Structure formats: C-alpha cells, structure tokens
Amino acid sequence: MKPMRVALCQMRVGTDKGRNLHTARNMVRQAAEQQAQMIILPEIFNAPYEAARFEQYAEAIPGPSSEALQDMAREYQAVLVGGSIIERDREGRLFNTCLVFGANGVLLAQHRKVHLFDINIPGKLRFQESQTLSAGNNITLFEVNGWKAAVLICYDIRFPEMLRLATLAGADLLIVPAAFNLTTGPLHWELLMRSRAMDSQAYVIACSPARDESASYQAWGHSMLVDPWGRIIAQADQGEEIIMGDLKPGEVARVRAEIPVLAQRRSDLYDTIARKPGLIIERRTDREGSY
C-alpha cells in the first residue's frame, strides 16, 4: 500500500452535457497539477439530477462521456472515479453508473447504483429513481496502489449491510459519488459519512456536485474526505471547488488493531452472509480490466 493523494472535484453541473464534460476536464487537469493521484467527480456529473431527464441524457458505454473520462485519466495520468452517468444498456434499461479508469486508461470498475433513491417526505421532497432507472446487483471493488476500494453511489451509503460486505471483502477505502439535497443534507450528510468511516474503519471519500440555486434539485455540496477514525480531513463548502487530502498507508490497519470490531464480531450470534446466490462481488486491479 502506497501513500495516495486524492482530489474531490465539487463541480457545478448544468443542462449542457458538452459544457459539463468541459468543466470536468478543467477540474481534473487542475487536480492533476496539484499532484492528485486519484480524482473523484460527483454523481451525475454530466447532466441535471432530474429523473424526468434521465432518458434524454442517457448514453451507452462506451459513449461520449465514458470515452471522455478514459481520455482524461490517460492524459492526466491519474486514477479517475467518474462520478456517475446515466447508462443505457443493450436492452434499453437505464442505470446510474460509476466508471473508474486507471491512469493508463484501463477500466478498473463499473458500479451500477444498487439502491434506488425512492423517497417521499411530504411537503419537502419526492423523488422516484425507480420510475426510470434499474438497480444494479453488484458490490464493486477495485485495487490501486495497494488500496482496496469499494464504490457506492449516494443512496447506497444508507445501507450498512452493503458497507459491511464491502469491508469484509477487504475494502479499506469507500468512494461515494453522491448528490444529497437541502432536505437530507444538513442533518444526514456529515453524520452518514463519518459514521460509515467509523463503523467500517475505512477512509470515506464523498463527492457532491456544487449547489445550483436555479436548479429544481439542489445539491447539498460539502464534499468531504473522512479518515478511519471518523475525523474530517478536508471538506468543501457549497460552491464549486477542489479539495485535496492524503491517504496514509497503515492508518486503516492501525485503527482496526486499536479497536478490533471486525475481529470481534459475534458471527455465532448473527449471521453475516458474505456471499449468496445472485450477489456478485467484483474485484479488479490496476493491471486488469477491459473497455
């Protein structure tokens, strides 16, 4: 495991996909110039986060956005976690999908959002991703620079069972492209990210879009990097910015040795099922993958 500098690009997202890709490229370039070895973009970084528009912005993989991400990773020689895009598969189904490319442009991971954001808070917020999107079925891990990273997308972070399975599969880094809103964000964003870092004893990287007060869905922002002790290493405000932080080798192992909750689990009392029919845990390294 090697030290790794990470950058979170809290970018402003508009209705013009081409402009969004241009903004992403500029921010990735700036992050690379600051020696970032892994760069993270937010959920649905190339389009408005509006369920009614998902069909309009959906694209196949490979496609314009995935090819742009691959090109950025290769050009700027950094691992690029491409937030997420709306993917259209060969059967015409839509998925909220995160692509991860290695610094050589190799596809390291393709994670489809497992838990669809279907909520109804009367008088505040109603959102139904399942009206247009299909759910993924994989817990997705990849390896880079000796780190084992799990990818989750936004609502996935609310399901501790998924986090525990990823941790038991070896994850010491949890990457969360997300777009919390002004209803859930103020109370739940920091609470969830710090809690998941603490109970997984892993680094958590959570990247949000910047807030756009003219949009129908306003992101909370406040992208953050949290260490395995639950401490915030870096945090953005609500506007467009890049924040940086360093992942320290040995920090995860140290915390897990000091408070060995993973080793002390009472699996004789509660059965944690790490594998079952229909559940796929994907693992890739920076030397594997195809695109």
pLDDT tens track for 152-188: 999 999 999 999 999 999 999 999 999 999 999 999 9
pLDDT the model gives residue 142: 97
The CB density around residue 104, as the number of other CB atoms within 10 Å, is 14
Task: Match 């912005």 to its residue by tokens.
Answer: 57
Cα maximum dimension of the chain: 54
CA–CA dist 5, 35 (Å, integer): 7
281 falls in which pLDDT band (50, 70, 90)?
low
| Tens-digit pLDDT profile for residues 100-117 | 999 999 999 999 999 997
Q: Is the pLDDT of residue 282 over 60?
A: yes
Task: Give the type of residue at 131.
Answer: Q
pLDDT the model gives residue 51: 87
pLDDT the model gives residue 122: 80
Half-sphere exposure of 199 (CA within 13 A, CB side): 16
Question: Mean pLDDT over residues 204-209, rounded?
Answer: 98
pTM value? 0.92
**What does the buried/exposed string (b/e) look like for 47-64 if buried means 16 or more CB atoms within 10 Å of the residue's CB?**
bbbebebbeebbbebeee
Residues annotated as part of the active site: 43, 113, 154
Q: Is the pLDDT of residue 62 over 60?
A: yes
CATH number, span 4-284: 3.60.110.10
CA–CA dist 289, 58 (Å, integer): 23
- pLDDT averaged over every residue in the chain: 93
Q: How much helix, strand and coil, in percent to the nearest 5, is found in the chain?
A: 25, 30, 45
| Tens-digit pLDDT profile for residues 211-269 | 998 888 899 999 999 999 999 999 999 999 999 999 999 999 999 999 999 999 988 88
Task: Answer yes or no: are the C-beta atoms of 138 and 282 closer than 8 Å.
Answer: yes
Question: Mean pLDDT over residues 81-88, rounded?
Answer: 98
Q: Report the percentage of the chain scoring pLDDT > 90.
A: 82
